[in-house]
Amino acid sequence: MLNSQYRRQLADKIKDVESRTDAEVVTVLAREADSYLYISTLWAAFLALLLAPLLQFLPWWLDYEQAFTLQWILFIALAVLFRWRPLTMRLVPKKVKYWRAANLARRQFLQQELHSTEGRLGLLIFVAEAEHYVEILADRGLAEQITDENWQEIVENFIREIKRGKTGEAFVHCIERCGDLLQEAAPATAVKNELPNHLIILD
């Protein structure tokens, strides 16, 4: 997650962008989109159940009660192990991670009231760090002026920088590039600031 220096820098960048456009920019950084507890637990249960047919190949005899106890021990041990975040994220399918992150992005778009700005000019820059997921959501007034290809190019560059561990720099570059597009699509006609400029962090 970003330190206070980067947060101040992002707030200044957003303020600068909004001085040149009528659009409202909100940035949200989530540590993760979901805990994925159900997936790590399912993996632990699945592997523990696989133990049963393997017991017959063991060189010593285990009765039913001993085998059942061994399965429970294995399940608990794996459930704890799979809660280690780097391992958890490897167990979760990419489609599931992106689906959960996309849902959170859309909820944030509504919760931050980007759908109710004057002229429908709200823009959300959303990042789920654990999933390496980035999405830019533009309201109707901007979507009519800026193509999805423009946003996608910015998103792809953002993701590359996140994977290199440069989330702060990625945010700065993203806001700068978005600012250029917003200035062309919706140049400033009045001084306003409907929504917060600071980075919103979801722990």
pLDDT higher at 138 or 194: 138
- Residue-level pLDDT at 53: 74
Q: What is the pTM of this model?
A: 0.85
Whether residues 112 and 184 fall in one domain: yes
Whether residues 29 and 44 fall in one domain: no
Q: Examine the pLDDT at 192 and tell me if it is beyond 80.
A: no
Domain limits for position 114? 4-34+93-202
pLDDT higher at 198 or 180: 180
Q: Examine the pLDDT at 59 and tell me if it is beyond 80.
A: no
Whether residues 49 and 81 fall in one domain: yes
- Residue-level pLDDT at 63: 67
CATH number at residue 100: 3.10.310.50
Query: Tens of pLDDT along 10-51?
Result: 899 999 999 999 999 999 999 999 999 999 999 999 998 887
Choosing from 60, 91, 122, the residue where a domain stops is 91
With contact defined as beta carbons under 8 Å apart, do 81 and 87 qualify? yes
Q: 92, exposed or middle or buried, with CB in 10 Å at 0-12, 13-18, 19+?
A: middle
Domains contained in the chain, number: 2
Query: Tens of pLDDT along 121-170?
Result: 999 999 998 898 999 999 999 999 998 899 999 999 998 888 888 888 88
Whether residues 118 and 188 fall in one domain: yes
Query: Tens of pLDDT along 168-181?
Result: 888 889 999 999 99
Whether residues 72 and 163 fall in one domain: no
DSSP 21: B
Whether residues 61 and 103 fall in one domain: no
* Angstrom distance (rounded) from CA 148 to CA 154: 10
- Residue-level pLDDT at 3: 81
Those residues with Cβ within 8 angstroms of residue 114's Cβ, 6 or more apart along the chain or in another chain:
24, 26, 122, 123, 124, 137, 139, 195
C-alpha atoms less than 13 angstroms from C-alpha of 68 in its C-beta half-sphere: 3
Whether residues 52 and 72 fall in one domain: yes
Whether residues 101 and 85 fall in one domain: no
Whether residues 86 and 142 fall in one domain: no
- Residue-level pLDDT at 62: 62
Whether residues 70 and 44 fall in one domain: yes
Pairing of β 133-138 and β 122-128: antiparallel
Whether residues 41 and 100 fall in one domain: no
Whether residues 122 and 188 fall in one domain: yes
Q: How many residues does the chain have?
A: 203
The CA-CA-CA angle for residues 126, 127, 129, to 5°, reads 165
With contact defined as beta carbons under 8 Å apart, do 127 and 104 qualify? no
* Angstrom distance (rounded) from CA 37 to CA 79: 9
Averaged over 52-63, what is the pLDDT? 65
**Both tokens assigned to 21:** 């456009």
